[in-house]
Amino acid sequence: MLHQVPNSFEALQSLLDQAVTRFNHPGFIADDPISIPHRFHKLQDREIMGFWAATLAWGQRKTIIQSASRLVNLMDGAPYDFILNHTEQDRARFESFKHRTFQATDTLWFLAFFQEYYRKNTTLETAFARHLSPDSLTVEQALAGFHRDFFDHPYAPERTRKHVATPERGSTCKRMNMFLRWMVRKDTTGVDFGIWNQVRPSQLLIPLDVHVDRIARRLGLLERRQTDWQAVLELTARLREFDERDPVKYDFALFGMGVLEC
C-alpha cells in the first residue's frame, strides 16, 4: 500500500523499481488478459489473440478472460489457422458473440480484417511499424496509421471505430498501448512477449487506466487535469526519466499499486 509519497527522485525511483520487481513476474499472468495469448506459441496466434484480448480489456478481468476464451473456442483453438482458412459460412457461429458493447458486427469486421491482412502479411507488427520513421520518439504515428488502415474499406462499420482507439481523437489508447507493450517489451520475466523487433521498447507509451492514473497523480508524476492522450505523453515522458530505454515497464508498478489500493 502507498502510505507516503517519496520526497526525492531517488526515493521515487526506488519505490517504482521495487514495485516493478514485485509485479512483473509470471504470477501476474494467470489473472490478467495477457494469459490468453500466453496459451499459444505461434507468433500469429499470439498477435491475433493478444490484439483481441486487449480490445476486450475493459470491465472485470475475469469476464474479459472468459470472453476472449470463448473467441478461442469459436476459432477451434487455432486462431491463425482459422483466420486464414475460414469461409463466410464459418462466420455464422460468431453472430451471438458479444462482450459489453463489443457486438457481432464488430466481431465480424475483426475476422474480415484479419483474414485479408494475414493472407498478405506474415506479422501484425508490419501494420504498426510501417507508420514509424527511424527518429519516431513514440508509437503515436503507428497507432494513428493502424487505425486508418484498419478501417480503410468502404464496408468498415462505423460503430467498430470506438473499439480501436486512435490518438487523433484524443483517446488515451489504453488497450492499444497495452497490446503493444505485450508484443514489444523484452525482459527475462516472461510476462510480456518481446516478439516484435521493428518497434523499440523506448517508443512505447503507458497504458493509462484508472489505476495507473490515480497512482501517477498521487506520486506527482502526472499533472494534466484531463485523462487523455496528452496525459499519456506527459506521464510517459516522466517515466522515461527513470528508464529511457523501457519506460513502460513502470506500468506494472503503477497498475499493481493501484489495484492493491482498491
- The predicted-structure confidence for 144-192, as pLDDT tens digits, reads as follows 999 999 999 999 999 999 999 999 999 999 999 999 999 999 999 999 9
In a domain, 51, yes or no: yes
Residue 7 placed within a domain: no
Residue 195 forms part of a structural domain: yes
Place of cell 489473440: 49
Q: Is residue 178 in some structural domain?
A: yes
> What sign has the CA pseudo-torsion 117, 118, 119, 121?
positive
Dist CA 62 CA 42 (whole Å): 24
* Residue 256 falls inside a structural domain: no
Query: What would the grid cell of residue 14 be?
Result: 526506488
Number of domains in the chain: 1
Contacts of 204 (CB under 8 A, 6+ apart): 138, 139, 177, 180, 181, 184, 185, 236, 247, 248
Domain limits for position 91: 29-205
The predicted-structure confidence for 62-105, as pLDDT tens digits, reads as follows 999 999 999 999 999 999 999 999 999 999 999 999 999 999 99
Is 70 domain-assigned?
Answer: yes
Q: What is the pTM of this model?
A: 0.95
- Hey, what's the torsion of the CAs at 238, 243, 244, 248, to 10 degrees? -70
Closest C-alpha among 59, 117, 111, 109 to residue 90: 111
